[in-house]
Every structure is written in C-alpha cells, then in structure tokens.
Amino acid sequence: MEPSLSTEVILTHPRQSLGNVQFDWTPQPGNYLDLQGKTYAVLERRHKYQLKAGRYRLQNIALYVQSAKRPSEKSLVNGRWVVGDATCCYNANSEIIRCAVNPEGPCDSCRFYEELKVS
C-alpha cells in the first residue's frame, strides 16, 4: 500500500496555510478535526493531479477549513450526521450549519422549535 499523501490544511478566513498534515483517515466536508490545539470544520476538499507517463497521479490534497466548535447535538439523517435536531422544521440538514433562527443552539430549549411535518 502506498503511503498516504500529505494534506495541506488551509484556513479560509483569514486565508492562511496551517501546514501539511498526514492523516490516518480521510477528512471530508462536514467533518471536524483538531489541529494545533484548535478545532476546525472541513468546508471543502480539493485534489490536484499531474499527468505523468500517460497516467494521472494524485499530486496534492488541500482541505479548506474554518474555526469551529464541535456540535453537542447531532441527528442521523439518511445515513449522514447533521448538526442539531432534524425533527425541527428550521433545521438546515447540514453538517456545518444548525439553522437560521438559532444557529448557535441548543435545540432542546429553543423557543422557535417547530416539529417537521412529514407529508
């Protein structure tokens, strides 16, 4: 098995490289990672390829991240984890954003909670 490729971690705002990291897992958008004592949400994952001897080879991986707190509330929706209580009609069904009316949460005491109506 080939050794894993180093991944550059890039903070989106202010735009700066946080360095190159060897991961023993494959961070995807919506995942959280801890780096240098801080927690980041993965927003985007990009791959760069190079044509060499008639074949494309993976040359570089970049993760674009933003500072974040790990959410304490998560719901499993169609096989993926989303932030907050997915039974609320205001839930964004996103790995990164909880909702528009109470983005910081928590859901359990939110005065805007309204049960999602399933038709």
DSSP collapsed to 3 states, the chain: CCCCCCEEEEECCCCEEEEEECCCCCCCCCCEEEECCEEEEEEEEEEEEEEECCEEEEEEEEEEEEECCCCCCEEEECCEEEECCCCECCECCCCCCCECCCCCCCCCCCCCCCECCCC
The pTM (predicted TM-score) of the whole model is: 0.69
- For the chain (119 residues), the mean pLDDT of every run of 10, in chain order, is 75 94 89 91 93 92 91 80 88 86 85 84
Q: In this predicted structure, what is the pLDDT of residue 119?
A: 67
